[in-house]
Chain A
Amino acid sequence: MTIKKTHNALIRPNRRLFLQGTAALAGASALAAPSIGRAQSKELYINSWGGPWLEAATENLFTPFTEATGIKVNTVSPVSFAKLAAQVRTGVYEFDVTTLGGGDIVAANNAGLLEPLEEPYPGGLFQNGVGSHAFATMMAWRTDKGWDETPQSWADFWDVERFPGGRSLQRYPARVLPLALLADGVAPEDLYPLDIDRAFAKLDEIKEHVRVWWTGGAQSTQILRDGEVDMIGIWHGRYFEAEDAGAPVAFTWNQAELDSAYWVVAKETPNMEAAKMFVDFATSAEPLAGFVAQANYGAMNPAADAFIPDSAKPRMPTAPGNVEMTFEQDMLNFGADPQEVAMRFDEWLAS
């Protein structure tokens, strides 16, 4: 067993492993000495989404947390679900804390990758993750296309006669399949469990018009801002980036798909105590309010609402007036094994 561990430690080099490895191999070497101290000192490694997320998190969560506790926060990019799994398998940790969306957290918890946590506020615990913020996948489009009408719904997204032009969606079937069903006329309250075959049949209709299945947030902003596609299903935060950059774009909250992000602690991480402290801090009312207000997310801890200025609300998917138009993902009632659906989606994409 110990052999296995060393073995694994050797094959997945990363910065922290390198430091620890150096320490183990070189022992008393002067270079390695500080890293031995560091491995046990008060430091925390957090997996970062980059972009506007990182700015808001640094200002409202990381810096105040360090001020309050003396624990230094380091960020690690990119966000990687696979790395979370690899860490737990190998016992070599690159990050202690990360955020997962509703789709991944169920899979991660089933795979035993998450440290059990306690409920920090009523209703705040889901699949061993603490609810942080809600974000939306919504429809946005270029306003310089000379269309006679304004798109209203996902049915319009599918309507390439009335709204000709290139399309883009995220390469993530758990988010895209519900949109196809809405476009096919299913009512939001009847979506789950999903009719998978019907969703794929509807996707067939739009396939040749989807020029990009985007895989990264920055990529989605770029193709909308530069006009590479004319209509896109995009995370709302990434949309506002394009709008703030002065691109001729518009969006609707109508039929926007709400997903939630949860803070999770990597199972058996050596920095467990600091990691749990951070998750509590990041989901407590005031820091969370500052974070969501800056990054336009919706706070999942209701106590945060009191600290959110009204001026921030128009851009929040969960604010009154917006939230009524949205619908929520329901991963526990998905209707099929999400992994199998994802494999089928990959095959569909290549065919």
Chain B
Amino acid sequence: MGLSLSALAERKTLWPWLLLAPLTIYLALFFLVPLVEVALMSVTEPRPGLANYEKVLTGSLYRKVFLNTFGTALLVTLCCLLVGYPLAYLMSTVSKRAAMGILLLITMSFWTSFLVRTYAWMVLLGNNGPVVWLMQTLGIAEPPPLLFTRFSSTLAMVHILAPYMIMNIYTVMQKIDPSLIRSAESMGAYGKSLFRHIYLPLTAPGIANGSVLVFVICLGFYVTPVLLGSPREQMAAGLIGNQIEQFLAFGLGSAMSIVLLVVTLVILGIYHRRFGLDKLYG
């Protein structure tokens, strides 16, 4: 009896790992091995040493591009939060049906490819597009250039990334027990104070999850800033692509990738200490 029980327990502990094995092997082969190769290339190409890192960390161009990348990611995250929070709140207050309707509208943009959405913004914001037409109709004779500016690339990235923010915050808001709000009200907390002391802290995990996801995804954006952004505001991913495609500087490109990865991991690490990474998965 005792024997079979322990055998069962052993099976129980082994089983999840067995189930995970295909994924683990897949990730190791197609994710870890390439990553190690990239790390190796960054210290061996074109010759062994840390010259690539020295270049990345001291060159003015690289510093500028990295700062711009993190600045853009921060800006996009803030915009997503400003847009996403009220919308998620709306979804949590309306009927289930209406919430599903809004959710459908938000996720619909997921079904369209990045490139198509990027080009759609080009059409909307273009010189002969509806936005410029509207501004002219409203009496602005010389509308400011919209396309190929920081404005257009930020707008498009917010559009692409906002769903991540909304869904994270919505999930948390939905779970908030309404009786908590009612009891807060019975204690005399209304309006601003109810929001600041009760609702905001309760939704904080959703904000943190959404922000980290949006921020990290935004760090690696490539096509959208290249096609819509201003030439002066380059993102790290674009510069990495350039190093490899134009200069065949595999080592330098790898070093930049590793720096970007390390900084991202540091951010995730800070997040983990504060909130716990496991929260990211709901």
- Asked if A and B bind, the verdict is yes
Report which residue of A85, A166, A211, A350 has the largest number of chain B beta carbons within 10 angstroms of its beta carbon: A350
* Pairs A-B, 8 closest by C-beta atoms: A11-B34, A347-B61, A82-B245, A82-B244, A211-B148, A85-B248, A213-B231, A11-B37
A81–B37 CB distance below 8 A: no
Q: How far, in angstroms, from A339 to B122 measured CA to CA in the complex? A: 32
In this complex, what residue of B is CB-closest to A230?
B127
Inter-chain pairs besides A8-B37, A228-B148, A349-B232, 14 sampled, C-beta below 8 Å: A10-B29, A81-B245, A82-B244, A82-B248, A166-B145, A211-B145, A211-B147, A212-B148, A215-B226, A226-B126, A342-B246, A342-B247, A346-B61, A349-B234
B246–A350 CB distance below 8 A: no
Partner of A349, one of B34, B145, B231: B231
A350–B65 CB distance below 8 A: yes
A81–B246 CB distance below 8 A: yes
B30–A13 CB distance below 8 A: yes
> In the complex where A82-B244, A211-B148 touch, is A350 in contact with B127 (Cβ < 8 A)?
no
Return chain A residues, CB-CB under 8 Å to B60.
347
Report whether over half of chain B's contact residues are helix, strand or loop; otherwise say mixed. Answer: helix
Report whether over half of chain A's contact residues are helix, strand or loop; otherwise say mixed. Answer: helix
B227 at interface, CB cutoff 8 A? yes
Number of interface residues of B (CB under 8 A): 29
Q: Which of A1-35 contact B (CB under 8 A)?
A: 7-8, 10-13
Q: How far, in angstroms, from A342 to B245 measured CA to CA in the complex? A: 12
Partner of B33, one of A11, A85, A343: A11
B127–A226 CB distance below 8 A: yes
Return chain A residues, CB-CB under 8 Å to B244.
82
Q: How far, in angstroms, from A10 to B30 measured CA to CA in the complex? A: 7
Instruction: Give residues in B with beta carbon < 8 Å to A.
Output: 29-30, 33-34, 37, 60-61, 64-65, 122, 126-128, 145, 147-148, 226-227, 231-232, 234, 239, 242, 244-248, 250
A80 at interface, CB cutoff 8 A? yes
Instruction: Give residues in A with beta carbon < 8 Å to B.
Output: 7-8, 10-13, 80-82, 85-86, 107, 111, 166, 171, 210-213, 215, 219, 222, 226-228, 339, 342-343, 346-347, 349-351
Q: How far, in angstroms, from A227 to B37 measured CA to CA in the complex? A: 45
B127–A227 CB distance below 8 A: yes
Q: How far, in angstroms, from A261 to B233 measured CA to CA in the complex? A: 32
> In the complex where A8-B37, A213-B231 touch, is A350 in contact with B64 (Cβ < 8 A)?
yes
Shortest Cβ gap from A167 to chain B (Å) = 11
Q: How far, in angstroms, from A219 to B145 measured CA to CA in the complex? A: 18
A339–B34 CB distance below 8 A: no
Shortest Cβ gap from A177 to chain B (Å) = 15
In this complex, what residue of A is CB-closest to B29?
A10
A343–B127 CB distance below 8 A: no
Return chain B residues, CB-CB under 8 Å to A7.
33, 37
Shortest Cβ gap from B38 to chain A (Å) = 8
Return chain B residues, CB-CB under 8 Å to A228.
122, 126-127, 147-148
Return chain B residues, CB-CB under 8 Å to A13.
30
A343–B128 CB distance below 8 A: no
A350–B232 CB distance below 8 A: yes
In this complex, what residue of A is CB-closest to B127?
A227
Report which residue of A212, A219, A228 has the largest number of chain B beta carbons within 10 angstroms of its beta carbon: A228
Return chain B residues, CB-CB under 8 Å to A342.
246-247
Return chain A residues, CB-CB under 8 Å to B245.
80-82
Q: How far, in angstroms, from A298 to B250 measured CA to CA in the complex? A: 35
Return chain B residues, CB-CB under 8 Å to A81.
245-246, 248
Report which residue of B30, B34, B128 has the largest number of chain A beta carbons within 10 angstroms of its beta carbon: B34
